[in-house]
Amino acid sequence: MKNIVPAFLLLFICSTIQAQDTLPKFSVRNIGSNKYVISWFNNFKNVKQISIQRSLDSTKGFKTILTVPDPTTPENGFVDSKAINDHNFYRIYIMLDKGVYFFSASKKPFYDSAAAKRKLNVDGNSDRLGNIDSLNGPNLNIKEKVITNSFIASKYVYTYRDGYVRINLPDDEKKKYSLKFFDDKDSPVFEIKEIKLRNFKIDKSNFYHSGWFKFELYEDGKLLENHKFYIPKEF
């Protein structure tokens, strides 16, 4: 089923993109309902990783809340709905070629009264990665999907921000499922021929490196889904 984005939500997204700053500058907006939009433009040609970090202090205690699946996306952002209040600080971790990395300046959200008045309150779960994250998972906020270059993760196989690959299959014991995993060059990685559990996770170490991976999910021998997911790089 295709997601239909309401017209008022598209207007919100457009205004978000227009408000973005070019990295290492970025914007953080409080749009109400305990939602904070972190967004930016990216002009770096050799960027390898972009991560969003959050802290209650402006200089220390930062923790990564999201590593974007595709750091080369020109316009990107994330809706943080897990922050306790608007006293948090945000910063961006940027890694370029040859391991060169740096952090943006930290900043607090500013209250966007125009966005808050629209009372946008689309349910979501920012624990899952989309592009951004983004990014992944079936219950991503619609705003996140649109901002993140329209990458919509599989509802069966997706990555949590802890790096584990989550498998969430239909709860039907009569069906038989199998999975084949491939790297971004379509080379086989490994295969699970008979899946006994319907909800489990696979350690990221099984994929040997970070980056994009593809999969083929079969139901009773027939291809149910052919999709991809992203495993972020640790630092």
| Closest of 164, 25, 145 to residue 92, by C-alpha | 25
d(CA 106, CA 130): 23
Helix H or strand E encompassing 68: none
- At residue 106, does pLDDT exceed 90? yes
pLDDT value at position 127?
Answer: 40
The answer to whether 57 touches 89, Cβ cutoff 8 Å, is yes
Question: Phi, psi (5° rounding) for residue 209?
Answer: -155, 165
The answer to whether 163 touches 204, Cβ cutoff 8 Å, is yes
Helix H or strand E encompassing 159: strand 157-159
Ordered structural domains, the chain, with CATH: 7-117 (2.60.40.10), 154-231 (2.60.40.1930)
pLDDT value at position 220?
Answer: 94
| Closest of 81, 13, 79, 24 to residue 47, by C-alpha | 24
Read off the pLDDT of each residue in 57-72 and give the average, rounded to a whole number: 88
Residue 97 burial by CB count (10 A; 0-12/13-18/19+): exposed, middle or buried?
Answer: exposed
- Encode pLDDT of 1-50 as tens digits: 443 334 434 344 444 444 457 899 999 999 888 889 898 988 888 999 99
* Selected residue with higher pLDDT from 165 and 138: 165
pLDDT value at position 115?
Answer: 64
d(CA 45, CA 95): 11
- Encode pLDDT of 170-218 as tens digits: 888 889 999 999 998 899 999 999 898 998 988 887 888 888 899 999 9
The answer to whether 30 touches 48, Cβ cutoff 8 Å, is no
